[in-house]
């Protein structure tokens, strides 16, 4: 993957501004609400009965933060995202049995949460850089499935 | 499947955005051109630079059609009849682009509505735009 200076700066900038707890929890909750079938992976997470329950669920909030911090690794290793996520890919495939299509769903939700946070500053060019970054992450997470 | 409440929510949102249809439409298109360069191939005959008149008028057309459809979602096939024909026989846009555009529209809504673009609104809107795109593509084959 070849990153332009603009892309590197944009990704670093976005992540430096993120409130990991707020954004992580909001993103995972949004994913479970907008794509309810993703709730299949969260059977042990308590009350997911409706949008309000999901948004107030502390286990979901905590897990969302965990996921977002997982993205940090890619931000810090943009030139080697595939290797960085090899282990996590195996985990998601062999232990968690997560359909890799779900990674795209979560990443779309993250894009929308970040857009809501940044407003006008989330221009088309910034969106393109962010989506490119997320697509590399998604691809790396799916790499070890077989 | 859209609940009655969701249909209300969707109609409300588009009603509120109709006065700024040009801004919303142009922004969604620009986002699509930035993130999916292949989509630009359908616009080779127009000037799609930011704030160009073509871009704004085109964006406005699209948003007004989406807003019109939102007034009575159960009648989408009727409302979109002429547009179905246009897209199937003249424009012949590959339907994957409808997905790209819908996503960019959701991002545009998020950037404008900020916290008002709640997960519930997002879910409803995503469902509506998917239904809209599906009906639009019905005459393709």
For each of the domains in chain B, give its residue range(s) and CATH number, in order of start.
4-140 (1.10.490.10)
**A63 marked among binding-site residues:** yes
How many Å separate Cα A32 from the centre of its chain?
A: 13
CA A99 → CA A11, A25, B83, distances in Å?
Answer: 26, 21, 36
Q: How many domains does chain A have?
A: 1
Rounded to two decimals, the ipTM of the complex is: 0.91
So what's the pLDDT on residue A51?
97
Nearest CA in chain B to A33: B119
Which value, in Å, is the radius of gyration of the alpha carbons in chain B?
14
Virtual torsion, Cα B73, B77, B82, B86, nearest 10 deg? 100
Residues of B in contact with A129 (CB under 8 A): none
CA dihedral sign of residues A73, A79, A84, A90: positive
Among A112, A122, A125, beta carbon nearest to B122:
A112
In this complex, the residue of A115, A118, A127 whose CB is nearest that of residue B34 is A127
Task: Identify all chain B residues contacting A128, using CB atoms and an 8 Å cutoff.
Answer: 34-35
Residue of B nearest to A50 (CA): B120
In chain B, which stretches have pLDDT less than 50? Answer: none
Q: What are the pLDDT digits (tens) for A10-38?
A: 999 999 999 999 999 999 999 999 999 99
Closest-CA residue to B80 (of B15, B126, B136): B136
Domain region containing A25: 5-142
pTM: 0.94
* Selection from B9, B121, B126, B111 nearest residue A55 by Cα: B121
CA distances from B1 to A78, A101, B4, B118, B130 (A): 40, 21, 10, 18, 11
- CATH code where residue A134 lies: 1.10.490.10
């Amino acid at each position: 993957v070849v990153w332009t200076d603009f892309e590197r700066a944009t990704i670093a900038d976005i992540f430096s501004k993120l409130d990991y707890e707020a954004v992580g929890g909001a993103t995972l909750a949004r994913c479970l609400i907008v794509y309810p079938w993703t709730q299949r992976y969260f059977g042990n997470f308590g009350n997911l009965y409706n949008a309000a329950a999901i948004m107030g669920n502390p286990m979901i909030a905590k897990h969302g933060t965990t996921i977002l911090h997982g993205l940090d690794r890619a931000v810090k290793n943009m030139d080697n995202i595939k290797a960085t996520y090899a282990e996590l890919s195996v985990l998601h495939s062999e232990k968690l049995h997560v359909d890799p299509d779900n990674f795209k769903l979560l990443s779309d939700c993250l894009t929308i949460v970040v857009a809501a946070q940044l407003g006008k500053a989330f221009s088309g060019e910034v969106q393109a850089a962010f989506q490119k970054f997320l697509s590399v992450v998604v691809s790396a997470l799916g790499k070890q499935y077989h | 499947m859209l609940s009655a409440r969701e249909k209300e929510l969707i109609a409300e949102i588009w009603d509120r955005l109709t006065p700024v249809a040009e801004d919303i439409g142009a922004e969604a298109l620009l986002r699509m051109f930035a993130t999916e360069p292949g989509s630009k191939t359908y616009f080779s005959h127009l000037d799609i630079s930011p704030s160009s008149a073509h871009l704004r008028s085109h964006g406005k057309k699209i948003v007004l059609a989406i807003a019109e459809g939102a007034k009575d979602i159960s009648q989408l096939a009727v409302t979109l009849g002429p547009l179905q024909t246009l897209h199937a026989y003249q424009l012949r846009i590959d339907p994957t682009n409808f997905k790209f555009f819908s996503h960019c529209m959701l991002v545009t809504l998020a950037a404008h509505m900020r916290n008002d673009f709640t997960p519930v609104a997002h879910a409803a809107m995503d469902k509506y735009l998917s239904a809209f795109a599906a009906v639009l593509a019905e005459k393709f084959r």
